[in-house]
Structure 1
Amino acid sequence: MKINLKELLTVTFTLFAIIDIIGSIPVLISLKSKLGAIREGRATLISGSLMVLFLLIGEPFLNILGLDVRSFAVGGSIVIFILGLEMVLGLEFFKSDKDVKASTVVPIAFPLIAGSGTLTTIISLKANYTQTTVFIAILLNLVIVYVVLKSLSLIEHILGPAGLIAVRKFFGVILLAIAVKIFAANAHGLLK
């Protein structure tokens, strides 16, 4: 099977922008300080599994549950909104019992890495590109995700405490805006 390099780059960069692992660094550092550690391999594996699963059976699975893509996106946007509020206000809504395993799944693997935006984008990309192209793009993005997760301590060291606070507040507002945008784009027509 021949892969179109231009299409692969388009899909890879689209997913990279939607996953926004770079923009999630302040949230991840905040969660890491709250939890004490993040299981990078596990978070990458779980988020990757969710993305591949959605690539293969996403829309039919949501249909079985009686959900549509818009409802799923709205639910994910609410979780992202709460994470943004945590960052901006310095409050803790996601009460952590310091269980790194549980926190690796929620909120790290879902919705931060493989969020509703990412999963709905995968369904959309599948409509325009081959499944193989989307699958390879997912794998390339997972490599980037893993490298960023492994580098959190270094990034935290480079930014320092004051830099972390400033970046956390800034990206908290960005997360709030992203959540509102996802909500607004998908909420119309859900309430009748």
Structure 2
Amino acid sequence: MACRVLLAALLLTAGTAQAAMYRWVDSNGRVQYGDTLPPTYQQSGAAEMNKQGQIIKRTQSEAERKAEAARKAEEARVQQEQQKQAQSDRALTSTYTTEAEIDLARDRALEHHKLAINGAKIRSVAVDANLAELNERIAMIEKAGRKVGSGLQGQLDQATRESLELKRTILANEEAMQKVREKYAADKARFRELTGK
């Protein structure tokens, strides 16, 4: 019987020795201690201590958890950017061996846009000549006091639309050429950095 009482007392003290102690700051700014952490302070952060009063575990407040999540998200974004840059660098150095090859690739990429611009400019000459002729005919009809026919007006509208579309094509291809030049200039500068050439 005495053995059982002794065993129970040992188990009870062992359980007490394992019990955690918590420290938290209440809403009035006072430091509080207890063997259980009130639920309201589980989100605002607290410290778990051993019997000697040393902090063995700390729970983060909601603000700390959000800041930690934001920091981890930023680290992940930076790491992803670095991986993307490393992949881009590998592609660059495996595709080209000299800056001259980069210039050649740039010129090939520009060629498509140059052809589109030249084609649009050639067509624009014919369309603009047709527009001038149509406008002249309409002016003569109106001067004579007659009504402009729907067929002639339709031709003018169509030629006007085509002229505007050709101008848009030229502008879009000129902008695309600028982007191509900028991309290959950046590739060339990065190639120099990576190869030391």
Q: Same fold (TM over 0.5)?
A: no
Which one has a larger percent helix, Structure 1 or Structure 2? 1
Range class of TM-score, shorter chain:
under 0.3
Which one has a larger percent strand, Structure 1 or Structure 2? 2
TM-score (norm 1): 0.25
TM-score (norm 2): 0.24
Higher relative contact order by CA 8 Å / sep ≥ 6: 1 or 2? 1
